[in-house]
Homo-oligomer: A and B are copies of this chain.
Amino acid sequence: MSAAPAEPPVAPARTRRSRGEAGARRPVYDAASLLTVAVAEFNTRGYDATSMEDLSRAAGITKSSFYHHVSGKEELLKAALQRALDGLFGILDEPAAQTGPALSRLRHIIHRQVEVLSSELPYVTLLLRVRGNTDTERWALTRRRAFDATIASLVADAVADGEIRADVDPALAARLLSGTVNSIIEWYRPGRAGSERLPDDVVRIVSEGILPPA
């Protein structure tokens, strides 16, 4: 299933003791770091196509050692999805998302959503690819739909208040809006030039489209 090139079945020589060396990566042998490694693997191959063997190899330990730190594959998925959802729902709790005209609240949320997508990229990427095969995945899908419904509700309010166009179905506008923002995970890579401007650029493009200024 894995597409990774064949590697010797022997575990790498890297150990905890390498911590003190100059430029040495800190070991990945704690739950938090193993999650980072696992999510990266999940996003490369897909959750279902990634085996515990893949994960342990990426962490530099055997599968058994990996299980010493983690109770199972789904636990890792749950932790990752939780983090993504916390980031997204945190936006809705911000004052600027709860006060003022619907349009300005919407603009704030989109701006922040792009920031969270960028800062929590691996976790949100995993969230947006979940299919619903397990209880954990279905829970995440339900929460995600609740987030989208909040956006859709705000779009409907903005249309009702005459703040944005009423010549297309508000539900359609909301779906395209969320789809546009979420599509960022397909190509965004941290540290690339122009990243600071991304939230502003996205808000401007979804607001005004690609045509203006004419």
Contacts and interface: CB of A to CB of B under 8 A. Distances in A.
Interface of A: 1-3, 44-46, 48-49, 129, 131-134, 155, 164-165, 167-169, 172-173, 175-180, 182-184, 186-187, 194, 198, 201-202, 204-213
A147 B204 CA distance: 26
A208 B209 contact: yes
A140 to B, nearest CB: 14
A176 B180 contact: yes
B45 A165 contact: no
Contacts of A177: 210
Nearest to A168: B201
Given A179-B179, A179-B186, A210 B131 contact: no
A73 to B, nearest CB: 11
B3 A132 contact: yes
24 contacts: A2-B133, A3-B133, A3-B134, A46-B48, A49-B133, A164-B211, A165-B211, A165-B213, A167-B204, A168-B201, A168-B204, A169-B201, A172-B194, A172-B198, A172-B201, A173-B205, A175-B183, A176-B180, A176-B210, A177-B210, A179-B180, A179-B182, A206-B210, A207-B210
B46 A133 contact: yes
Contacts of A172: 194, 198, 201, 205
B3 A168 contact: no
A202 B2 CA distance: 38
